[in-house]
Amino acid sequence: MTEQPPAVAAPYDILFEPVKIGPFTTKNRFYQVPHCNGMGYRDPSAQAAMRKIKAEGGWSVVCTEQVEIHATSDIAPFIELRIWDDQDLPALKRIADAIHEGGGLAGIELAHNGMNAPNQLSRETPLGPGHLPVAPDTIAPVQARAMTKQDIADLRRWHRNAVRRSIEAGYDIVYVYGAHGYSGVHHFLSRRYNQRTDEYGGSLLNRMRLLRELLEDTLEECAGRAAVACRITVEEEIAGGITREDIEGVLRELGELPDLWDFAMGSWEGDSVTSRFGPEGRQEEFVAGLKKLTTKPVVGVGRFTSPDAMVRQIKAGILDLIGAARPSIADPFLPNKIRDGRLNLIRECIGCNICVSGDLTMSPIRCTQNPSMGEEWRRGWHPERIRAKGSDSQVLVVGAGPAGLEAARALGVRGYDVALIEARRELGGRVRQESRLPGLSAWGRVQEYREAAIAELPNVEVFRESPMTAADIIEFGFQHVLVATGATWRTDGVARFHTTPLPIAEGAQVLGPDDLFAGRLPEGKTVLVYDDDHYYLGGVVAELLAQQGYEVSIVTSQSQVSAWTNNTFEVNRIQRRLIENGVTRITDHAVTRVGVGGVEVTDVYAGAVREIDCDAVVMVTARLPREELYLELEGLRAQGELRSVRGIGDAWAPATIAAAVWSGRRAAEEFDAELPSNDEVPFRREVTQLA
Ligand code: ADP
Ligand code: SF4
């Protein structure tokens, strides 16, 4: 008798093994860790729909963001969930029910923000281990008060109340939160904040006392009805903060208490590093080795999008569950796609943190890769499904940047015959160009995913190296046209500071990003970048030029270079990188005249003027939509030559890559639809009920 060879496990089977978390068993190892979304208490139904889709896409556990347990933990203006009293339960229940309907276990991250809560809405006194200004997330002119024993007893009772309500709302996993600097537990653990001399301060045992008490209270309150998870800072990455030694001590003492450990960094910024500044799996160096200090399952994150990297985390004994916030935002169906072997169709997170900017600007979450993120409830969009076509119309999409690619893909999925026509040989438009800049290679994923998806659609035909004129389009014969021809960077200085062109001397050497994309570099040695855009590109261009050997300075009217990137957690790292590259930062100034061999800059506050020598100026200012084709086609439509013409993406109004992708998706969603008049609000809202 011949022996059967042992069954060979498929390479990713290990990711689909169940994991026991307290009284529950997961269906696989994919775990959506708690993440903020800018929806919170304001948009609970929208959040419920968003979380449900993740459960549907295969995430075995789906958690809420931090849920403030009490009015003393109010982090207004940021919009998170609340569990202040029973009035909050219907919203929380809706979210838990939705996760269950999607087939996932529902986790709730109970948070008391401690000295991180400025309590600007509630006007309660912030609570901390000591008398210190509120921190780390705000510089509000308020101090926390050192908690008394009574305050600690109150906090424990509020936490118990929140646990009881969480179970009532139907949650399966209840968190004790001690990470990211957003939690009193973190502040008590960290010597940086905790200088108490009572039994809650000093030794590590004392500093972890509050954590122990909250864990014990939570276990007692759950009484086996829900699992207890602990999200804990493993490294604060700041002098005097929580260290490896601290976390190892915590695990030795409390390792067996909760049903799950969720390892996180000491700041959200430290956990959600963009791809420009940190690789996939950046947290490994801080998390590796901790698992062996507990028998309980551990979850951690690392912007994991590669199934091989995930398998390695499990096999190397670093994690039991693959945690994700951003990869689950970019692709809510990532687990199912791995399960079904559709790896080429994973919408890999590009690590841009536009999702984070939603929360930080108090707007509903959005995502560069996943235009349906945040639109699930209010517009009915789904990351994988879209309404079938409503006619046999044929659609011509001009321009294969992010807007055109997404429009062609989504219309193709709907079943229309689509022609996607691109002037260049390469698809991708601006993402292809920008992905060649320092640190931005992951931008290319926006195009790669869409190109792969389009390749599977026989009804979408792609034409390259075909610059189209209006006459070409009429001749092509498709009656519906989407114009996604992008935008051009201006070089006349117009943006925010100057809304009319700057005085530029004849013979001055002035370039824009488009010149650099086309491979044209400045002549000479010294280059001045004038950034009146304030997102990433000015800083990236300065970095690129410095790496090419130029002596570079960058002028900005803001007090930091790339100031808007405070919303993507990059602004501090950008300053550091520019300093490391020898770039001179000239902040609080605008370029007010460009001469030959130098510029005049003006202090934006005091008006003082000075001259700076440079061989060339690179303007990173405003853009102009490439709308000539649109305008011409619209004229032809009015004459009856075409049935419909729509401008999308940067060709309509220059904005982020995320906005261009979204605009392409919107055009595809709205094609052939009966649209309400534009007097109406174009999406569903959840309006506050009067008390
Ligand atoms: P968006 O961000 O709105 O998608 P991009 O600038 O990234 O815009 O992409 C626009 C794309 O359109 C570029 O790849 C460009 O080469 C292409 N394009 C511009 N004009 C034409 C045209 N007349 N015919 C075909 N392709 C065009
Ligand atoms: Fe990833 Fe960017 Fe989407 Fe956030 S917005 S999930 S970082 S692709």
Distance between CA atoms of 111 and 98, rounded to whole angstroms? Answer: 22
Tell me, yes or no, if 536 is annotated catalytic. Answer: no
For the Cβ of 349 lying below 6 angstroms from any atom of ligand 2, the answer is yes
Tens of pLDDT, residue by residue over 484-520, are 999 999 999 999 999 999 999 999 999 999 999 999 9
Q: In CATH terms, are 394-486+627-670 and 489-624 the same topology?
A: no
How high is the pLDDT of residue 2? 45
Nearest CA to ligand 1 atom 12: 399
Q: What is the mean pLDDT of residues 368-379?
A: 98
User: Which of 422, 432, 451, 469 to mutate for ligand 1's pocket (most ligand atoms within 8 Å of CB)?
Assistant: 422
The model's confidence at residue 679, banded by pLDDT at 50, 70 and 90, is very high
Confidence of residue 121 (pLDDT cuts 50, 70, 90): very high
- Strand pairing report for 589-595 and 644-647: unpaired
State the closest ligand 1 atom to the C-alpha of 648, by its place in the atom list counted from 1: 3
Say if CB 271 and CB 264 are below 8 A apart.
yes
Count other Cβ atoms within 10 Å, centred on residue 377: 23
* Ligand 2 near 526 CB (within 6 A): no
Q: Cα–Cα distances in Å, from 187 out to 74, 217, 640? A: 16, 19, 68
Q: How many angstroms does the Cα of residue 422 sit away from the middle of ligand 1?
A: 7
Longest CA span, the chain: 94
Centre of ligand 2 from the C-alpha of residue 444, in Å: 13
Alpha helices in 39-113 (DSSP H): 44-56, 89-102
Which residue's CA lies nearest to atom 20 of ligand 1? Answer: 485
Of the bound ligands, which one is closest to the alpha carbon of residue 408?
1
Q: Which of 355, 657, 662 should be mutated for ligand 2, with most atoms under 8 A from CB?
A: 355
**Count of all residues that appear for the chain in the document:** 691
Ligand 1 near 654 CB (within 6 A): no
- Tens of pLDDT, residue by residue over 157-214, are 999 999 999 999 999 999 999 999 999 999 999 999 999 999 999 999 999 999 999 9
User: Mean pLDDT score of the chain, rounded to an integer?
Assistant: 97
Mean pLDDT, rounded, for 363-380? 98
Q: Give the ligand at the shortest distance from the Cα of 568.
A: 2
pLDDT band at 691 (very low <50, low <70, confident <90, very high): confident
Q: Is the pLDDT of residue 6 over 80?
A: no
Ligand 1 in contact with 399 (CB < 6 A)?
yes
The atom number, within ligand 1, closest to the CA of 484 reads 3
* pLDDT digits 0-9 by tens, 29-59: 999 999 999 999 999 999 999 999 999 999 9
pLDDT higher than 80, residue 217? yes
Joined tokens for residue 353? 């943190």
Q: In 3D, which of 393, 394, 373 has the Cα closest to residue 384?
A: 373
Indicate whether residue 270 lines ligand 1 (CB < 6 A). Answer: no
Could you tell me the pLDDT band of residue 1, with boundaries at 50, 70 and 90? very low
470 alpha carbon, closest ligand: 1
pLDDT at res. 4: 55
Question: Can you give the pLDDT at residue 505?
Answer: 98
Residue 537, both tokens: 């590109």
Nearest atom in ligand 1 to 467's CA? 24
Nearest CA to ligand 2 atom 3: 367
Q: Is 275 in the pocket of ligand 2 (CB under 6 A)?
A: no
Q: For a pocket test of ligand 2, which of 303, 354, 440, 447 has the largest count of ligand atoms closer than 8 A to its C-beta? A: 354
The single residue listed with the structure tokens 């912007």 is 303
pLDDT in tens, 620-643: 999 999 999 999 999 999 999 999
**For the CA of 353, the nearest atom of ligand 2:** 7
Active-site entry in 31, 175, 177, 182? 182
Q: Determine if ligand 2 sits within 6 Å of the CB of residue 368.
A: yes
Q: For residue 445, which atom of ligand 2 is closest to its CA? A: 8
Instruction: Kindly provide the b/e burial profile for residues 432-447, where b requires at least 16 CB atoms within 10 angstroms of the residue's own CB.
Output: bbbbebbbbebbbbbb
pLDDT in tens, 326-338: 999 999 999 999 9
Q: Is the CB of 367 under 6 A from ligand 2?
A: yes
Domains of the chain by residue range: 13-358, 394-486+627-670, 489-624
Query: Which ligand is closest in space to the CA of residue 487?
Result: 1
State the CATH architecture for 489-624: 3-Layer(bba) Sandwich (3.50)
Ligand 1 atom having least distance to the Cα of 399: 12
Parallel/antiparallel/unpaired status of strands 623-625 and 460-463: unpaired
Helix axis angle for 402-414 and 445-455, nearest 10°, is 30
Residue 301 has pLDDT above 70, yes or no: yes
Q: Which helix (H) or strand (E) holds 201?
A: none
Just give the CATH number of 394-486+627-670. Answer: 3.40.50.720
User: Tokens 């193709």 map to which residue?
Assistant: 412
Q: Is the CB of 482 under 6 A from ligand 1?
A: no
Average pLDDT over residues 229-235: 98
pLDDT grade for 7, boundaries at 50, 70 and 90: low
Backbone angles phi, psi at 475, to 5 degrees: -65, -35
Question: Does residue 400's CB lie within 6 angstroms of at least one atom of ligand 1?
Answer: yes
Query: Class of the 13-358 domain?
Result: alpha beta
Ligand 1 site, residue 545, Cβ cutoff 6 A: no
Q: What is the pLDDT of residues 414-462, one digit of tens each?
A: 999 999 999 999 999 999 999 999 999 999 999 999 999 999 999 999 9
